[in-house]
A = this chain, B = another copy of it.
Amino acid sequence: MSLQDLNNIPGVTAEPDSATQNFVFNHTMLRVKNIEKSLDFYTRVLGFSLVEKRDFPEAEFSLYFLALVDKAQIPADDAARTLWMKSIPGILELTHNHGSETDDSVVYHNGNTDPRGFGHICISVPDIRAACERFETLGVDFQKRLNDGRMKSLAFVKDPDGYWVEIIQPQPM
């Protein structure tokens, strides 16, 4: 569909208000039960870097901010890193409510059964076949393998809480 056609779809404001200039879609927040398992998954399996942690001891939770960037891009200075990570798109925020990892009553909802809402996050990779083979080797859980279903050009893996992570590659396969 052409850009012109997209701009004519009902609801679309084709020329954004100049007041929104330099707005950035900075992050997406997910609650996680076991932060150690989640940090392992997002850093070791998917390649994110942990770039900030904020603790709220009175309210008994901590926030972990992760970026999927070349390590060389991450400012070493703490204040500069905070400014940077609030300025770029593609940050993942994980919320850990202290003690949830040992509380059997805490099971987070991935949004894909009733009540539905949030669906998934998505990682774009240069070579989806190589990426999926590596995920198999690492023992990652799949929601949909490349060859499952009709859409052979995408896969879904699951993070430790069962959130769906879509895997795509930009170039047609």
Contacts and interface: CB of A to CB of B under 8 A. Distances in A.
Interface string A28-47: 11110001111110011111
B86 A170 contact: yes
Number of copies: 2
A6 B63 CA distance: 12
Contacts of A24: 68, 90, 123-125
Contacts of A121: 25, 27-29
A155 interface: no
Given A29-B120, A168-B86, A36 B23 contact: no
Given A68-B25, A68-B89, A6 B51 contact: yes
A95 B46 CA distance: 25
Interface of A: 1-3, 6-7, 9-17, 19-31, 35-40, 43-53, 68, 70-71, 74, 76, 78, 81-84, 86-93, 95, 107-111, 115-126, 130-131, 134, 161, 163, 166, 168-171
